[in-house]
Amino acid sequence: MKVLNVVAMALLSLVSGSALAATAEKIEKPNIVVILADDLGYADVGFNGSKDIVTPNLDKLANQGMMFSEAYTAHPFCGPSRAALMTGRYPHKIGSQFNLPVRGSFLGVPTEEKFVSKMLQESGYFTGAVGKWHLGEAPEFHPNRRGFDEFYGFLGGGHNYFPEQYKKVYERQVANGVTNFDHYIMPLEHNGKEVDENEYITDALSREGANFVRKAVDTGKPFFLYLAYNAPHVPLQAKQEDMDEFPDIKDKKRKTYAGMVYAMDRGVGKLVDTLEETGQLDNTLIVFFSDNGGKLQFGANNYPLKEGKGSVYEGGFRTPMVMHWPKQLKAGSKFEHPVKALDLFPTFAGLAGAELEQESRLDGKNIFPFLQSGDAPHKDELIFALRHRGSYSDAAVRRNEWKAVKVGEGVPWRLFNIEKDKGEEENLADKHPVMLRDMVREMEKWSWDNQQPRWFHIHEEGSLWRQHGMPRFDKTFATD
């Protein structure tokens, strides 16, 4: 009898151990890496159909992961788009619908809004931000105060690329007593302390991204890396050897832009190599996309989408996107339903096992189960884009295959079947007036708790806002 009890206990221990191991495997937290391009065109990566710009490392991620054909950011401009990514909320709901003031301020995304980085940090992640911040420069808005253990980069909305050029300008201005600097020439920093950076900025950010991974592995914690390149955002500045990769591109802007994209792609390859070398690649979710559409006048190509950065047509806020996670996502798969950058906050929370106290206020959802099932995460739901101009607002709302758009002052709303008409050419408003009116009314309802802007990019924007009694939503949502 005693022998039987011993055997029974041994079997029970074995079964319990197996169950615990299975549970541990099931809840293992993945590393999360977000790679954000700046003003990258929809058609400027190989996996999205680029004919002239080659992106071998991004294409490899796409071929070994999941590509998204209908990925939307929350705004067609840099700052508001990034505020949405960090908070999981439309920027209009928190007063962040304009870029921060161009030459510095004491303003930033409200501290009462918990960033995705803080949520992951509280969930046991080692967190790092590398590159462009653009979410506030005052101490309380600094990355190290918003949930990032490590920060290497610059706080403003952009930066020049060649240190040997911008450092001379900065030093000359310091010598002349200047205290209000163009952000594009200021020294980079590491955790609040200036650093003497000497590499082409894109290469420097790639280097620091890889360095963060090595440091994170040593902590023994799962990690979150936010690698925010400023490429290919202006100024158009590329290394000659990168431009030489594109001898068939004759247009100077396009050639320089191509070199900038190529440098970013090379950096992505370096980061992936580091993940592989450290044994982290298989359990790392990599997400790559752009903060908004490409800027056409500076070399970008958003084909077949209409217009570009700043527009509520598809070219303004629909971007190339890839997710790569060997353990969980099928290689070579394509997700052809709409997803939002706003979905990343709740998706990451779900993967990290975090409880979200602000879940009811988030404007996205955990899409990971949908990625695995192939179902549409936003079926019958609404996706919004709203860009304020001097005396009016451009607006767009998408539901399933339909998209309603109003661009310009005093013009009627238009309706497109976005699945059949990516270029938004055939206006179907007259054929479906009831549907159009319903979608516009739904967006009007969404707008009622939008906040007044907390800041403007330049004073003239604020002056026009007040002068014209903006946002004038009675005009925006008029359908008669």
Candidates 134, 142, 183, 388; catalytic one: 134
Rounded to an integer, what distance in angstroms lies between the CA atom of residue 299 and that of residue 297? 6
H or E element, residue 439: helix 433-447
Candidates 78, 159, 183, 324; catalytic one: 78
Rounded to an integer, what distance in angstroms lies between the CA atom of residue 82 and that of residue 291? 7
Q: Count the Cβ atoms, other than its own, within 10 Å of residue 265.
A: 26
The answer to whether 280 touches 217, Cβ cutoff 8 Å, is yes
> If phi over 0 gives left and psi between -120 and 50 gives alpha, with beta otherwise, what is residue 384?
beta
Q: Is 134 a catalytic residue?
A: yes
The answer to whether 302 touches 296, Cβ cutoff 8 Å, is yes
Pairing between β-strand 223-228 and β-strand 126-132 as defined by DSSP bridges: parallel
Among all chains, which residue has been given the structure tokens 């030489």? 244
Q: Count the helix, strand and coil residues of the chain and give each as a percent rounded to the nearest 5.
A: 40, 15, 45
The DSSP letter of residue 71 is E
Rounded to an integer, what distance in angstroms lies between the CA atom of residue 430 and that of residue 409? 20
The answer to whether 90 touches 363, Cβ cutoff 8 Å, is yes
Residues taking part in catalysis = 78, 134
